[in-house]
Structure formats: structure tokens, C-alpha cells
Amino acid sequence: MDFVLPHLLFLLILLPIISIAQNNGNVTIGNSLTATDNSIPWLSPSGDFAFGFHPLDQADLFLLSIWFDKIPDKTIVWYAKLDNPAPRGSKVELTADDGLVLTGPQGDELWRPDSIIGTVANGVMSNTGNFVLQDSNFSKLWESFNNPTDTLLPSQNMDIGGMLSSRQSETHFPKGRFQLRLIGDGNLVLNTINLPTNNPSEAYYTSGTSDSVTSNPGKQLVFNQSGDIYILRDNNQKLSLRQVKLESAAEFYLRATLNFDGVFTLYSYPKNSNANGSWTPIWSVPDNICVENVVLTGSGTCGYNSICTLGSDQRPICTCPKGYSLLDPNDQYGSCKPDFIQGCEEDKLSTGKDLYSFQVLTNTYWPNSDYAFLKPYTEDQCSKSCMEDCMCAVAVFRDGDSCFKKKLPLSNGRVDNSITGGKAYMKIRNNTSITLPNRCLPIPETKKKNHDNLILLWSVLFAGSLFVNIILIVAICVGAFFIYHKKLNRPTRNFNAMEVNLRCFTYQELVEATDGFKEELGKGAFGVVYKGTIEMGSTVPVAVKKLNSSFQDYEREFKTEVNVIGQTHHKNLVRQRGFCDEGLHRLLVYEFLSNGTLASFLFGDLKPSWNQRIQIAVGIARGLLYLHEECNTQIIHCDIKPQNILLDDNYNARISDFGLAKLLIMNQSKTHTNIRGTKGYVAPEWFRNMPITPKVDVYSYGVMLLEIICCRKSVEMETIEEEKAILTDWAYDCYREEALDALVEYNVEELDDKGKLERYVMVAIWCIQEDPSLRPTMRRVTQMLEGVVEVLVPPCPFLFSRTG
Ligand SMILES: *[C@@H]1O[C@H](CO)[C@@H](O)[C@H](O)[C@H]1NC(C)=O
Ligand SMILES: *[C@@H]1O[C@H](CO)[C@@H](O)[C@H](O)[C@H]1NC(C)=O
Ligand SMILES: *[C@@H]1O[C@H](CO)[C@@H](O)[C@H](O)[C@H]1NC(C)=O
Ligand SMILES: *[C@@H]1O[C@H](CO)[C@@H](O)[C@H](O)[C@H]1NC(C)=O
Ligand SMILES: *[C@@H]1O[C@H](CO)[C@@H](O)[C@H](O)[C@H]1NC(C)=O
Ligand SMILES: *[C@@H]1O[C@H](CO)[C@@H](O)[C@H](O)[C@H]1NC(C)=O
């Protein structure tokens, strides 16, 4: 028995290979494939093509596809169009009624071919690369050739209405931005679409066979066995597209692919190359996609603000201009964002005049994006006018007297060598940060004296001796080191979900819990939150957060982080009840809090009482202190703002969304270019080349504390006088001029408690110091709020940026 069993198993595994290889590509009803690493595909009789699950770069995901099986990299020529790839364990089965049915590991249907009329008798993986479903009379009910993706193979033709659609990138198969279509008037066109809709932009290539220009319009795009590509006209004349002659087409594999970057290319690959060959481009359209693709709506060939240069193989190269970087670091062909903030508001708030410098580019052009055309104008006038105009992103001077001013986002950027003498002046912000003029006047005498006295006191206490002071400083440092060290050595246990009492939900359970994600509670930076109920002994209301797709790449980190979040227990943090981690579905389940967000509480119609607000401010500080210092792993929130603070039945503040920012900054920690957080609450170090520490939360807390004190938003441009628009500045002005009553709009409740009011404002000013090292820790903040330690006179918070 021991002996026979392995052999039997071996035979069972081998059986399908043998049967399919001998069956001329014939796949019978009931046959199925499962997405695993060693699943054996359905092969064509020659073995050139295979139909099955192709493993993707992302772990545990597979693409149902057809590929060249004898080529080492298994080039894909057709794939099932799915929103998400199939997870490991998915299954495709040939059935009589529906042809092919692709189901996920849980049996949920992921895909099936549309429009099958009749009963399927069998499937055939043919030697041309066409997968056909046929009935008992051998008539074709469905074929992959009539449902192309981004590639045509020899003998695969395209009729009017037919379309190729590019993928997102070489290795990502969701729908991309480019299309090749034979449209109703007989024209073959290439165009971009405005994702996520299919709304096409202007074509950047046309074959010129539309019925409006010829009495003989096109009716079919033909790609024949000799590798010729032509348009068959109504009168059966041919308009040849491919001029190059290919010797002995039979010795090459051929494919014509609409590349993810919009170039339609015919490739050849020598069949007998002993694993040494490569796909060689032998023809492509358009000739210069950078110059020929100009759209009014949409970004053009590259993303917004990106500049297109033509590579040697007629393929575009997209690069971000200096001072700009990729919005998605993994998408080289995507949009670029400025690494600085540009806007009239920001410019107005800045000191000095040398805010920007120019990068001068020659032969670079943006045909659209103009908002002003100045003529006649000199080159000097042109650059100067852009420099002084807060709307202007780039000025192009050309033809000796023409000045085009352009605004963001720039589209259709390209290097165009046919433009001679043109110059583009691109504005890049200097390394100065935004500061306010005249903010930092000397502190009034009375306060200064107070400050001096304190310093004096310190000096007296420490005996005024330099030596003693040095000893003291050393002692403090050594002490601090030991405390820090102790913290590092604190045992960190590796919890798993069970130990921390988190429930692991299936996606289906959460679909039911939220009634199909029916009631939306809010949208955050990380995803959408829905209301639901779960059974935990009794029916418990919960908030279910569906994390957005940017979390998909962080599989291991997600698990770690969920455990970290799960271990946090504090009365000022929102409790996590469970999570779901199923394929692409990442969800977090939190307790539901009835009283909404601090934002709606503070900025609503009714002004909440001073005592309630104080209680909330202290609660948030304690919650942050816990995250920074008291839980097993230090958690930096990165997005502290009133929208992320929830209120429970007793109006206790509860911090939400903690622990998630880390997942998103992990990969970016070296560059610091991706700013997490929300404008107005973001600490200045995000904009500078400085490490991100818990002090970013202290900064945001300071801004929010002022909002709690004043019951207004940190930035209010429309409704308030100019000098009050930026709360941090206004608060400091009021403090400096001892006009706190103006800050709280002469409210009796606050003014009756003037000592506490002043203390809270001072704490807030300490927190919003632009120099992170001056900001107190959250421990210090709680002590100051509670009146346990004295609050010193804060320095001007804006000083740092004037020199930096
Ligand atoms: C496919 O295989 C099935 C079962 O082996 C057989 O009945 C059928 O005739 C075959 N069809 C073709 C076209 O070879
Ligand atoms: C096959 O062809 C015969 C004769 O033309 C016809 O009677 C029959 O209905 C056809 N079967 C299918 C499945 O189309
Ligand atoms: C392909 O088309 C070209 C141009 O019309 C023609 O010369 C050639 O014979 C065709 N080849 C095949 C295999 O039909
Ligand atoms: C691969 O190509 C190189 C150069 O064309 C050749 O020298 C080498 O023998 C080839 N290797 C194989 C395995 O064909
Ligand atoms: C900004 O940069 C330009 C060019 O590098 C320089 O001339 C100017 O002085 C800079 N301004 C500041 C404030 O650094
Ligand atoms: C700005 O500062 C950073 C780091 O201090 C430096 O790498 C960069 O080159 C500076 N940029 C400009 C335009 O001076």
C-alpha cells in the first residue's frame, strides 16, 4: 500500500497532461484548472500556446490568460478582463451552459464570457492562439480572437466596432488609458480615454479610411499569417499599414500589441532561438507619440506635469521636471506633483521676493494649459511676468515676441525639437518655507521680564557655575539615555489576533453586517467607513472601514499593524473589534460612537461649553501620549485633526485612524516627499528634508487645540477678516498683544476662566513651534494642560522658517 499510493498519485497528476496533449487542444466539458503554482494549462496541439492561470508579480494572484508557452517569459496575448486578478485557489471550469466560469476560492463568480448562445460541446486551444468554445456542430459560440485585449495575433482580424485596450503597465493588467479602435466610419484610430469612464479624447493616430474622406471606407483590420497588417476597404482593396517586408514569417512568432504607453507595435520573435531570443519591434504607429498626441481634456501621453521624450524604439519616456516628483512612485508614466506648494495664498504669506527660481528648458512645450497669451512681449517681460504671477507655473517664450503663461496641471508636455528658439521658464520654489511677514515682533516688556526672571531663577538654582551646569547637563543626558534605553528594552511580545481578542471576519460576514455597505458614515484618507452591526453575544453597532487599494501592497505590514492597533487599549482611543484580510479585501471593524466627530461638534451651529471642550482637549492629549509613549510599539498618528476625533456617549474624545499612516509612509520614509496628513494641520518638517517624529502629532495637536479654544477652523479664508484667516497666526498675534478676549470673541464663559484660557493658548503656541525640537512632548503637554508644571512664555513659533 505504501508503495502503490505514490505511484497512483503520480499517474493521476500526469493523466491530464497526457490526455490534453493527445487531444488536439480539445478540452471537454467538466474540465477545470485551479490557480496554483504548478497548475498545468490547456495547451494547443503544437504546444505554442497555453490557456490557464499565469502567476503575477504580486504574491498569490493569478491572471486567467493565453500565452506563448515556448517563450521563456510566457508573453501574454489575451486575458480575462477583471477588476482584480484571481486569488490563489480560484478555479476555471468548462461548462455546457456558460462556456467558461471563473470562480474565486470561496466559490464566488469572478468572470464568464458574455453572450454565449447555444450549448457548448467542447473547448479548443488552437495553434493560432485562439481559444474557441464550439457546439456539437463545430460552430463557434465564443472565441478569444473576437474578444481581444491588447494584442492581435496573425489571422486575428478586427471588424468595425472592434477594440484593443491597453493594460495599466507592463505587469499590471487593469484597463489602461489607450485604445485602438476601428470605428463606425471606417477609420482606424488610436486615442486615450478619460478613466474611469471610456470617454475618448481626440485621436492621435488615424488611418484616414473614414467614409467622410473616401468613398471606400475601411471595414476590417487584417493581420495575416505573413505578418502583413492592412485595412480591408469596402471594395476589398487593401490599404497596407505595415510596409516592412518580413522574410519567412513562419520562422517567427508574431504579435501586434497596443502597449501600455499607447504605441501600437508589431513584434517578432525567432522560433528557434534556444531560450536566447527577444521580441523585436518591426513596425509601430504613431511615429512620434509625444508630439502627435495632443488632447484638450486629459493629460496626453504621460501623466499631468510630466514631460514626454521619444525613445529609440518609438516608445515614450516620461519624466518629471526638476522640482516635481511622481505622484505614484511606482508609476513612471503617471502624473507628477510639485514638491512645493504653489498658490496665491501661500505666496502671499511668504517673506521676501525670491520665492522661486526658474529652470529654463529648451524645446519643451505644452500646447495647451495656456491661460494668458501676451504679444508683443520681450523675453525678460515674459519671465518676469510669470515670476510675479502667483497663478503662473511656466512661461513659454517663442517666435521672438510671444509669451504664453501656463497653469497647473500642465498637460501634453513634450520635448519637441521642431520648435526652434523656444524657451520655457519653469517656476521652482526655493528652499524657503511659508512664513508670515512681521509676525515675530518683540514680545511686550511685561512678558519678557517674566521670561527673564525665569531664566534668572534657573541660573541661580544651578549656582551660576559653568562647571556645575555642564555636570548637570551631562547628568540629564545620561538619565535620558537610560530612560530611553529602558523603553527600548521593554519586552515586546508578538501578539497574534487571537491573543489580543480581535475577531477575524470573512468578507461575506462584513457584507452582511453592513447590509451590503449601505450606510456610509464618512470618508477618510484611508478609505470609506460604513455603519453595521455584528453579533457578539448581543447585537453591537460597529463602524466598518474599507481600506482603499493603496493598502494592497502591504500584506505583511497590514497584519503586523492590525496586531499593533489591536493591542492598544485606552479610554481616549477608538477600540478595534476586528478585521478582515481576505485577498484584496482589507477592512477594519471599530466600535461605533454615537456622537460623531469633533469637527461637527466644534464647528456646528451650537457652541459647545468651555468645560466640555477642556475635557476633550485633555482627553486627546492623553490618548496621544499613550500612542507615543505608553503602548508596546510607538505609534505616530500623522493625521491629527478634528475629523479624526470621535465623541462617545459621554462626549469623551476618542482618537481614530491611528496606526494606518505608518503603512503608507513606510516605503517613503527615505524621501519624505509624500506628505501625509491634512493641509492646515501638517507640521513644517513634512515639507523639509527632516525625519518624521512624534513631534508632527504635537504640531497638529497644537493647531487643533487652538480650534478647540476658539471653536473655529484653522484656516478660514472667506468669512473672516484677513488678519484672522490663519488661526495660528491670529492666536499668536492676540497672545503677543495680550488680547485673548478678541481671540475668544469676548465670550464670557472663557474670559471667566482667564488663567486656564491663557495657559491653554500658551501650550498651543509651544506645540506649533516650527522647530520640532522646541515643541514639548505629549507628556509635557498633558502636564502643562493639567497645571502640574508651569508653562513658560513660548517663543515666536515662526522664527525658524525665516532663517530656514
Ligand atoms: C473532444 O473530446 C471528447 C471526449 O474525449 C470527444 O467526445 C470529442 O469528440 C472531442 N472533440 C474533438 C473536436 O476532438
Ligand atoms: C446541428 O446541425 C443540425 C443539422 O443542421 C441541426 O439539426 C442541429 O440542431 C444542430 N445542433 C446544434 C447544437 O446547433
Ligand atoms: C498577407 O497579405 C499580403 C498583402 O496583401 C499578401 O501579399 C500575402 O499573400 C498575405 N498572406 C497570406 C498568408 O494570406
Ligand atoms: C545566445 O546568443 C549569443 C549571441 O547572439 C550566442 O553567442 C549564444 O551562443 C546564444 N546562446 C544560445 C543558448 O543559443
Ligand atoms: C532663490 O533662488 C534664486 C536662484 O537660485 C536665487 O537667486 C535667490 O536668491 C533665491 N532666494 C532665496 C530667498 O533663497
Ligand atoms: C533644497 O534643500 C535640499 C536639502 O537641504 C537640497 O538637497 C536641494 O538641492 C535644495 N534645493 C534647491 C533648489 O536649492
Boundary of a domain, candidates 429, 444, 478: 429
Q: Does pLDDT of 505 surpass 70? A: yes
Cα(134) to centroid of ligand 2, in Å? 12
Which comes out higher in pLDDT, residue 419 or 193?
A: 193
Same domain? For 659 and 614 the reply is: yes
Per-residue model confidence as pLDDT tens digits over 179-189:
999 999 999 99
In 3D space, the residue among 669, 617, 636, 656 whose CA is nearest the CA of residue 782 turns out to be: 617
Instruction: Say how far apart CA 150 and CA 165 lie, in whole Å.
Output: 5
Instruction: Say how far apart CA 714 and CA 716 lie, in whole Å.
Output: 7
- Cα separation values, 571 from 564, 614, 621, 641, Å: 17, 16, 12, 18
Boundary of a domain, candidates 365, 397, 429: 429
Residue 48 lies in a domain: yes
pLDDT, mean over the chain = 83
Q: Which of 118-122, 214-218, 374-378, 557-561 has the lowest mean pLDDT?
A: 557-561
Q: Does pLDDT of 461 surpass 60? A: no
Cα(357) to centroid of ligand 6, in Å? 12
Ligand 4 in reach of 438 Cβ (< 6 A): no
Ligand 1 in reach of 122 Cβ (< 6 A): yes
- The number of distinct structural domains making up the chain is 3
Same domain? For 266 and 364 the reply is: no
Q: Assess contact for 793 and 450: CB atoms under 8 A.
A: yes
- Per-residue pLDDT, averaged over 469-491, amounts to 40
- Cα separation values, 236 from 216, 228, 271, 666, Å: 9, 15, 32, 60
Q: What is residue 627's DSSP assignment?
A: I
Give the model's pLDDT for residue 344: 79
Ligand 3 in reach of 238 Cβ (< 6 A): yes
CATH number at residue 351: 3.50.4.10
Same domain? For 58 and 166 the reply is: yes
- Cα separation values, 763 from 177, 454, 630, 749, 796, Å: 51, 17, 22, 20, 13
Name 153's Cβ contacts closer than 8 Å, sequence gap at least 6: 77, 128, 129, 130, 145, 223, 254, 255, 256
Instruction: Say how far apart CA 694 and CA 138 lie, in whole Å.
Output: 69
The ligand placed nearest to the CA atom of residue 222 is 3
Residue nearest to atom 10 of ligand 2 (CA): 137
- Per-residue pLDDT, averaged over 524-544, amounts to 84
Give the model's pLDDT for residue 752: 87
Q: Does pLDDT of 456 surpass 80? A: no
* Order of strands across the sheet that contains 218-223: 158-159, 218-223, 229-233, 238-240
End-to-end CA distance of the chain: 80
Which three three-digit cell numbers place residue 510? 462584513
Name 674's Cβ contacts closer than 8 Å, sequence gap at least 6: 329, 664, 665, 668
Residue 205 lies in a domain: no
Give the model's pLDDT for residue 431: 65
Max mean pLDDT among 7-11, 144-148, 461-465, 748-752 falls in: 144-148
CATH number at residue 623: 1.10.510.10
Residue nearest to atom 8 of ligand 3 (CA): 226
Q: Helices (DSSP H) in 432-554: which residue ranges?
A: 445-461, 466-489, 507-513
Rg (CA), the chain: 33
Residue nearest to atom 14 of ligand 4 (CA): 274
Instruction: Say how far apart CA 447 and CA 635 lie, in whole Å.
Output: 37
Residue 695 lies in a domain: yes
Cα(316) to centroid of ligand 4, in Å? 30
Domain residue limits at 388: 307-429
Per-residue model confidence as pLDDT tens digits over 51-81:
999 999 887 899 999 999 999 989 999 999 9
Same domain? For 155 and 93 the reply is: yes
Residue nearest to atom 11 of ligand 5 (CA): 354
Instruction: Say how far apart CA 208 and CA 159 lie, in whole Å.
Output: 16
Residue nearest to atom 4 of ligand 3 (CA): 228
Taking each helix axis from N to C end, the angle separating 754-767 and 778-786, rounded to the nearest 10 degrees, works out to 170
Around ligand 5, the residues with Cβ closer than 6 Å are 352, 354, 357, 430, 432
**Long-range pairs of 674-683 with CB within 8 A, sequence gap ≥ 24:** 674/329, 676/525, 676/638, 676/639, 677/638, 677/639, 677/641, 678/525, 678/639, 678/641, 678/643, 679/715, 680/641, 680/713, 680/714, 680/715, 681/639, 681/640, 681/641, 681/714, 683/772
- Please state the φ and ψ torsions of residue 317, each to the nearest 5 degrees: -120, 125
Give the Cβ contact number of residue 535 at 10 Å: 9
Residue 142 lies in a domain: yes
Q: Assess contact for 240 and 233: CB atoms under 8 A.
A: no
Percent of the chain with pLDDT over 90: 50
The ligand placed nearest to the CA atom of residue 31 is 1
- Cα separation values, 429 from 13, 204, 301, 404, Å: 64, 34, 26, 20
Boundary of a domain, candidates 395, 429, 463: 429
**Which residues face 524 on adjacent strands?**
none
Cα(636) to centroid of ligand 2, in Å? 70
Q: Does pLDDT of 451 surpass 60? A: no
Instruction: Say how far apart CA 674 and CA 676 lie, in whole Å.
Output: 6
Residue 185 lies in a domain: no
Quick one: CA dihedral 328, 333, 336, 339, positive or negative? Answer: positive
Reduce the DSSP state of residue 527 to 3 states and report it.
strand
Ligand 3, residue 227: give the atom nearest the CA.
Answer: 1
β-bridge pairing 307-310 and 163-169: unpaired
Under the banding of pLDDT at 50, 70 and 90, the label for residue 422 is confident
From the candidates 48, 581, 639, 733, give the one annotated as an active-site residue.
639
Ligand 2 in reach of 137 Cβ (< 6 A): yes
Query: How many residues comprise the chain?
Result: 804
Under the banding of pLDDT at 50, 70 and 90, the label for residue 452 is very low
In 3D space, the residue among 625, 653, 633, 666 whose CA is nearest the CA of residue 782 turns out to be: 625
CATH number at residue 263: 2.90.10.10
Q: What is residue 803's DSSP assignment?
A: H
Angle at 16 between CA 12 and CA 20, to 5 degrees: 160
Question: Is 337 within any annotated ligand binding site?
Answer: no
In 3D space, the residue among 592, 654, 591 whose CA is nearest the CA of residue 626 turns out to be: 654
Per-residue model confidence as pLDDT tens digits over 16-52:
444 444 467 899 999 999 999 888 999 999 999 999 9
Same domain? For 712 and 610 the reply is: yes
Ligand 4 in reach of 272 Cβ (< 6 A): no
The ligand placed nearest to the CA atom of residue 20 is 1
Q: In the chain, what are the helix, strand and coil shares in percent, each to the nearest 5? A: 25, 25, 45
Same domain? For 279 and 424 the reply is: no
Ligand 6 in reach of 431 Cβ (< 6 A): yes
Same domain? For 236 and 343 the reply is: no
The count of C-alpha atoms lying within 13 angstroms of the C-alpha of 517, restricted to the half-sphere facing its C-beta, is: 14
Residue 178 lies in a domain: no
Residue nearest to atom 6 of ligand 1 (CA): 28
**H/E element holding 6?**
helix 4-22
The ligand placed nearest to the CA atom of residue 350 is 5
**Long-range pairs of 37-43 with CB within 8 A, sequence gap ≥ 24:** 40/16, 41/69, 42/123, 42/125, 42/131, 43/69, 43/125
Same domain? For 690 and 765 the reply is: yes
Give the model's pLDDT for residue 22: 46
Ligand 2 in reach of 136 Cβ (< 6 A): yes
Angle at 784 between CA 779 and CA 788, to 5 degrees: 95
Residue 15 lies in a domain: no
Instruction: Say how far apart CA 122 and CA 95 lie, in whole Å.
Output: 9
- Per-residue pLDDT, averaged over 779-785, amounts to 92
Cα(48) to centroid of ligand 4, in Å? 22
Reduce the DSSP state of residue 621 to 3 states and report it.
helix
| Site of grid cell 508589431 | 266
Ligand 1, residue 124: give the atom nearest the CA.
Answer: 13
Give the model's pLDDT for residue 272: 84
Which three three-digit cell numbers place residue 235? 471594395
Same domain? For 255 and 132 the reply is: yes
β-bridge pairing 172-182 and 61-68: unpaired
Which three three-digit cell numbers place residue 252? 517567427
The verdict on whether omega for the bond into residue 286 sits within 30 degrees of 0, i.e. cis, is yes
**H/E element holding 53?**
strand 49-55
- Per-residue pLDDT, averaged over 391-411, amounts to 93
Per-residue model confidence as pLDDT tens digits over 13-22:
444 444 444 4
Cα(178) to centroid of ligand 3, in Å? 28
Give the model's pLDDT for residue 552: 64
- Cα separation values, 253 from 64, 74, 153, 157, Å: 21, 12, 9, 17
Q: Does pLDDT of 438 surpass 50? A: no
**Which residues face 205 on adjacent strands?**
190
Residue 553 lies in a domain: no
In 3D space, the residue among 399, 408, 404, 395 whose CA is nearest the CA of residue 373 turns out to be: 404
Instruction: Say how far apart CA 431 and CA 571 lie, in whole Å.
Output: 42
Which pTM was predicted?
0.58
| Site of grid cell 492676540 | 734
Q: Does pLDDT of 478 surpass 50? A: no
Give the model's pLDDT for residue 476: 42
Per-residue model confidence as pLDDT tens digits over 287-324:
999 998 888 888 999 999 999 999 988 999 999 999 89
Same domain? For 322 and 274 the reply is: no
What is the 3 state secondary structure string of 81-93?
A: CCCCCEECCCEEE
Q: Does pLDDT of 89 surpass 50? A: yes
Q: Does pLDDT of 586 surpass 70? A: yes
In 3D space, the residue among 613, 628, 780 whose CA is nearest the CA of residue 704 turns out to be: 613
Same domain? For 280 and 311 the reply is: no
Q: Which of 224-228, 437-441, 496-500, 712-716 has the lowest mean pLDDT?
A: 437-441
- Per-residue pLDDT, averaged over 519-545, amounts to 84
Q: Does pLDDT of 674 surpass 60? A: no
Instruction: Say how far apart CA 28 and CA 111 lie, in whole Å.
Output: 19
- Per-residue pLDDT, averaged over 688-699, amounts to 84
**Residue among 97, 137, 140 whose CB has most ligand 2 atoms within 8 A, to mutate:** 137
Q: Does pLDDT of 785 surpass 70? A: yes
Q: Is 639 a catalytic residue?
A: yes
Ligand 6 in reach of 446 Cβ (< 6 A): no
Same domain? For 345 and 312 the reply is: yes
Residue nearest to atom 5 of ligand 6 (CA): 689
Cα(253) to centroid of ligand 4, in Å? 19
Under the banding of pLDDT at 50, 70 and 90, the label for residue 429 is confident
Ligand 3 in reach of 237 Cβ (< 6 A): no
In 3D space, the residue among 140, 148, 142, 145 whose CA is nearest the CA of residue 128 turns out to be: 145
